[in-house]
Amino acid sequence: MRYEWALKNAPTYELRPLFRGPEAATLLRSAGRAATRRDIATRAWQHVVPDDLSSLTQVASFEGGCLTVAVTSAPARYWLYQHTEQLRQALGRLLPALHKLRFTAGPGSNGHDEDPAEG
């Protein structure tokens, strides 16, 4: 009896979507573009990176003309820093929007996230 009364008199809530209308469409389109940019950048990176370094790198992002690549090995990251300009030129042919190439410490690395040339 108490249960039925509580069920009848329980508050009801109207559920509304977090995003709807044009806001949802804009959000989904921008998320799709970001994934597409990253996918295209990943394919381009795999095309220009030496095979022996490919397994040590992963494209983290491609935003605002800056390609960020996570590198799990410090010696590999150093080699990439030394060859940044050649890599940027090769990538520039495949990614015309590319202006900057950036390398960061990736998962499993020692955690240093600085440019050895600046360090």
Task: Identify the CATH number of the domain in which residue 58 sits.
Answer: 3.30.300.180
Query: Which residues make Cβ contacts (< 8 Å) with residue 103, sequence separation at least 6?
Result: 68, 69, 70, 71, 77, 80, 81, 84, 115
Chain mean pLDDT for the chain: 80
Report whether 87 contacts 80 (CB < 8 A): yes
Tell me how many domains the chain contains.
Answer: 1
Select the more confidently predicted residue: 110 or 82. 82
In-domain check, residue 88: yes
Residue-wise pLDDT for 12-62, tens only, equals 656 555 455 666 666 556 666 666 888 889 999 999 999 999 999 999 999
Task: Reduce the DSSP state of residue 68 to 3 states and report it.
Answer: strand
Select the more confidently predicted residue: 112 or 78. 78
What pTM value is reported for the model? 0.65
Q: Which domain holds residue 100?
A: 17-105
In-domain check, residue 92: yes
In-domain check, residue 7: no
Distance CA 51, CA 110 (A): 22
Distance CA 31, CA 39 (A): 12
In-domain check, residue 3: no
In-domain check, residue 93: yes
In-domain check, residue 61: yes
Provide the strand spans (E) within the chain. 57-63, 66-71, 100-105
In-domain check, residue 6: no
pLDDT in the model for residue 38: 86
In-domain check, residue 114: no
pLDDT in the model for residue 75: 95
